[in-house]
Structure 1
């Protein structure tokens, strides 16, 4: 059987990293050397994703009325704009990764020159979009990023996911990758979470979905190296 591995590096952007990120993940920058190691490998396609929000995005606490608009704390009910019977409860965040701002840029130390495609997500102000594939609504889905098509068009069989943050955008990207039929692995040491205490729940979801969490020394990484 043909083996066609892809690498998806999720949201390694200034606003998700110290020292200046508005939604900085603790030690977020420290994973870049591992990401660059992965980018050196002969994946058939290497993709970087970017949160790329308009200023009036629904996930920003600043776009909701007080008192229920505290970043990191407040939750909001977000309706499916195409089906008012479908809604999700979503956490509100500080303004982050706004289109055209420095915070939306990929980290300069990331070897972006080795990336084949950059996929932007979260561009529709009406819906949250943690996954790099699509928003969470099902009836119907409102926005698809084109990532699934990119991967399927390349004949990808296996997807390796790394980046930020482990408990949000990496998590939902990996779960959607598995739903798309790809054998999916998360390179655990090349991710960092917003809330480390949430990772037990994330790992349970991965187990249920058939997503493996691996280290850089895993045999599946060695298999990619052998494609040279």
Structure 2
């Protein structure tokens, strides 16, 4: 595996272009900026695919990205491809490998400390279920705060028992953009068992904590899995192969 120069991967024009969209008008990055960035990838995916190829060919970047990425307990990979401070944003690639069964995705309803917009790059699409807390009806859950323990920011801190009711179930298919504010509580899973990949443009952190809900009896100990450099190479290679028709159109 050859190593490319810093200019071809670490200082590629694709993340620089997104940075201009997200902070070019001098305003603090908001959901509208994130949606615009995601639509930029939707309309013209080739710059992203070219950059992803450059990352794969750069041994140092592969090691750096694998070190801050991980396997979610529900079997998909969260690849943090790029981080930036000014404007503050991240580019992530979420990958559900092809399987014999449909992945459960993120089974615990949860919110986020930041806004994001995502584009379905590979696969049929994603199915979301959104929830709200209610006093009557719905289903019982145990509520936790993620990020509330200074000694262990990844720990889930108990925050009472509540009931959740489904409010809507949006589907997002390949080629579409989905955006999410910090007050949305949802679950996410692929529509089918095919290889599925979403490009996520994450904005700045808005709140110090976020909520995660577990069903009664469900363990709150759900550690992330280590993602190796070999995992990264295999996943990105598969995504690039599957995205070729989209990038060429």
TM-score, with normalisation over the residues of structure 2? 0.24
Kindly indicate whether structure 1 or structure 2 has the higher relative contact order, using CA contacts under 8 Å at least 6 residues apart: 2
**Structure 1 or 2: larger strand share?**
2
- Pick the structure with greater CA Rg: 2
TM-score, with normalisation over the residues of structure 1? 0.26
